[in-house]
A and B are shown apart, each in its own frame.
Chain A
Amino acid sequence: MNSSDASRYLSTRGAPAGLRFVIYAVLALVLMYLDQRGRWLESIRYGLQAIAYPIEIALNSPAAAWQWSQQVFEERAVLQAENRELRQRLRELDQLALRRQSLERENAALRAIAIPAVDVVEKYLPAQIIGSELNSQQQRLTLDRGAVNGVFDRQAVVAAGGVLGQTMRVGPWSSEIILLTDSEHALPVQILRTGMRTLAIGTGRREQLSLPFLPLQTDIRRGDRLVTSGLGGVFPAGYPVAVVTDVKRDGGAPLAQVQARTLARVDRDRIVSLLWFTPNHPAAPVSPTQNSGGDPSAKPIDVIAPSATPRGETSQGETS
């Protein structure tokens, strides 16, 4: 070690530390204020995410290398078994798809609506998970697709099995998604068996959701499946979300305590899908921000207070 080099730094120099700290503290507070209120820092964040992208790739590389080596050295027998399994699964799905078409037509006839020939999912984009932050405060993933791929804020993300989450912050080449299990995430869901609508709140624990707004006498039991209700403006109706694992009815509390386990499985390839929906499709997500569907001649009625926020202008963080 170079002693003359080190001794220069062994004691404080220049401006007193107290003054520096005050300056930095004020700077931090101003940054927080601007970031929280003004959202002027969005463009800076966009740039920061661009800088973070290579770091994320580098941090993910050991895991990626391990997966790659596993795939390379996988045995022939294992691959054959997997192939057989996938073929079997494909046949099953084919059967389901055949029945789905006829069911969809029958459903449309029953409800006397014209279902467009196109599917509600307009296009999808596979994306790889390159980073994850899974703890009690945050359940977030980073994907390797961003604004250059057309990814937008509050876009639906699904994985094998069901709904995974939605995009939260989109960088140029990467985007951060908030999982259903994040304790700041609430998803409008429907109990498939009864049609009852409620909210599924993340718990901050892996694969765990809670349904805290159900009255005691609600008809819900273990094994009930939850699907998206189509409200909230991010997901269309009918996507699988979770299975109820536990229902506690405590006579003293007015609400039932219901726990559910999410169905989305991130497979070994760590691939998830970003979805784009056909606008104006009957099953497309409904949100207060886009007055789509319904009677187009109906106009919003002015409320008495003229200074009230106009309809269709809701704050961004409403669903998350």
Chain B
Amino acid sequence: MRRWSLRHRATVGLLVSFVLQVMPLPAVLGWFRPSFAVIAVLYWSIAAPGWGGVGLGFLMGLALDAYLGVVLGQHALATALVAYIAIRQHLIIRNKSMFEQPFYIAGLLLLWQIVVWIIDGWTGHALGSWTRLLPIVTGTLLWPFAWEWLGGDLSRSRR
């Protein structure tokens, strides 16, 4: 894995996260499924903001829209927004300890969920229940592991 170039690792990581995000799961397990795709986008926005940028969030969101069959642009807008904020604040978030980082991520995941929720309302879809908030909790808990698995802090661990 370490031999691969950043671009290859990023592409594979993003594809795997997308698959995990849309993979069919039993109902109860599905409630707890973190937003893998958003977490991957956030990682690359914070660790390598010059690589994908806001466009990466937009494309990942658009892929989710197309696959989930919701109005095109819904997840694209939400993911581009959190990617933008993560890029703007990447130096701050990157230099926080692993105890503080998850709080920033929780905020971003909540913002993402709120944007998706608002657009659900505008387009006349069902708003769901409080179980929509569960992926934020699991996503926040997942963040330290995802950070390590996806490559850690690229600015420090140069080998």
Taking beta carbons and an 8 Å cutoff, which residues of A are in contact with B? 1-3, 5-14, 17-18, 20-21, 24-25, 27-32, 34-36, 41, 44-45, 48, 51-52, 55, 59-60, 63, 131-138, 140, 168-169, 176, 182-184, 204, 206
Give every chain A residue within 8 A of B67 (Cβ-Cβ).
52, 55
Contact A29 B73 (CB under 8 A): yes
Q: Which residues between 142 and 159 of chain B lie within 8 Å of chain A, taking CB atoms?
A: 151, 154-155, 157-159
Knowing A48-B66, A135-B30 touch, does A63 contact B76 (C-beta < 8 A)? no
Contact B128 A32 (CB under 8 A): no
Other-chain contact of A20, B6, B55, B73 (Cβ < 8 Å):
B55
Other-chain contact of B125, A32, A48, A176, A184 (Cβ < 8 Å):
A184
Chain A: CB-nearest residue to B58: A24
Contact B55 A24 (CB under 8 A): yes
Contact B58 A27 (CB under 8 A): yes
Give every chain B residue within 8 A of A169 (Cβ-Cβ).
69
B70 to A: closest C-beta gap in Å: 8
Total chain B interface residues with beta-carbon distance under 8 A: 56
Give every chain B residue within 8 A of A34 (Cβ-Cβ).
72
Give every chain A residue within 8 A of B72 (Cβ-Cβ).
31-32, 34-35, 41, 44-45
Chain A: CB-nearest residue to B9: A1
Q: Once the chains are docked, how many angstroms separate the CA of A134 from the CA of B28?
A: 9
Give every chain B residue within 8 A of A35 (Cβ-Cβ).
71-73
Is B54 an interface position by the 8 A CB rule? yes
Q: Once the chains are docked, how many angstroms separate the CA of A41 from the CA of B7?
A: 32
Contact A133 B68 (CB under 8 A): yes
B4 to A: closest C-beta gap in Å: 8
Q: Once the chains are docked, how many angstroms separate the CA of A5 from the CA of B154?
A: 11
Contact A136 B58 (CB under 8 A): no
Is B87 an interface position by the 8 A CB rule? yes
Contact B80 A28 (CB under 8 A): yes
Is B81 an interface position by the 8 A CB rule? yes
Q: Once the chains are docked, how many angstroms separate the CA of A63 from the CA of B24?
A: 10
Contact B6 A21 (CB under 8 A): no
Give every chain B residue within 8 A of A183 (Cβ-Cβ).
126
Q: Once the chains are docked, how many angstroms separate the CA of A149 from the CA of B49?
A: 46
Contact A176 B76 (CB under 8 A): no
Knowing A35-B71, A134-B27 touch, does A21 contact B81 (C-beta < 8 A)? yes
Contact A12 B84 (CB under 8 A): no
A9 to B: closest C-beta gap in Å: 4
Q: Once the chains are docked, how many angstroms separate the CA of A21 from the CA of B67?
A: 23
Chain B: CB-nearest residue to A63: B24
Q: Once the chains are docked, how many angstroms separate the CA of A278 from the CA of B123?
A: 35
Is B77 an interface position by the 8 A CB rule? yes
Knowing A20-B53, A20-B54, A184-B125 touch, does A140 contact B69 (C-beta < 8 A)? yes
Chain B: CB-nearest residue to A129: B24
Give every chain B residue within 8 A of A18 (Cβ-Cβ).
84, 88
Q: Once the chains are docked, how many angstroms separate the CA of A41 from the CA of B71?
A: 10
Q: Once the chains are docked, how many angstroms separate the CA of A21 from the CA of B88?
A: 11
Give every chain B residue within 8 A of A14 (Cβ-Cβ).
53
Other-chain contact of A32, B50, B57, B74, B132 (Cβ < 8 Å):
B74
Contact A24 B71 (CB under 8 A): no
B129 to A: closest C-beta gap in Å: 5
Other-chain contact of A28, B23, B73, B120, B157 (Cβ < 8 Å):
B73
Give every chain B residue within 8 A of A63 (Cβ-Cβ).
24
Give every chain B residue within 8 A of A138 (Cβ-Cβ).
68, 126
A260 to B: closest C-beta gap in Å: 19
Give every chain B residue within 8 A of A135 (Cβ-Cβ).
27, 30-31, 128, 131
Contact B76 A31 (CB under 8 A): yes
Chain A: CB-nearest residue to B66: A48
Other-chain contact of A10, B22, B23, B80, B155 (Cβ < 8 Å):
B155
Contact A176 B69 (CB under 8 A): yes
Knowing A32-B119, A59-B24 touch, does A13 contact B76 (C-beta < 8 A)? no
A114 to B: closest C-beta gap in Å: 43
Give every chain A residue within 8 A of B27 (Cβ-Cβ).
134-135, 206
Q: Once the chains are docked, how many angstroms separate the CA of A26 from the CA of B73?
A: 10
Contacts A9-B51, A25-B81, A135-B27 known; 8 new A-B pairs at CB < 8 A: A1-B6, A1-B151, A12-B50, A12-B53, A20-B53, A27-B76, A52-B66, A63-B24
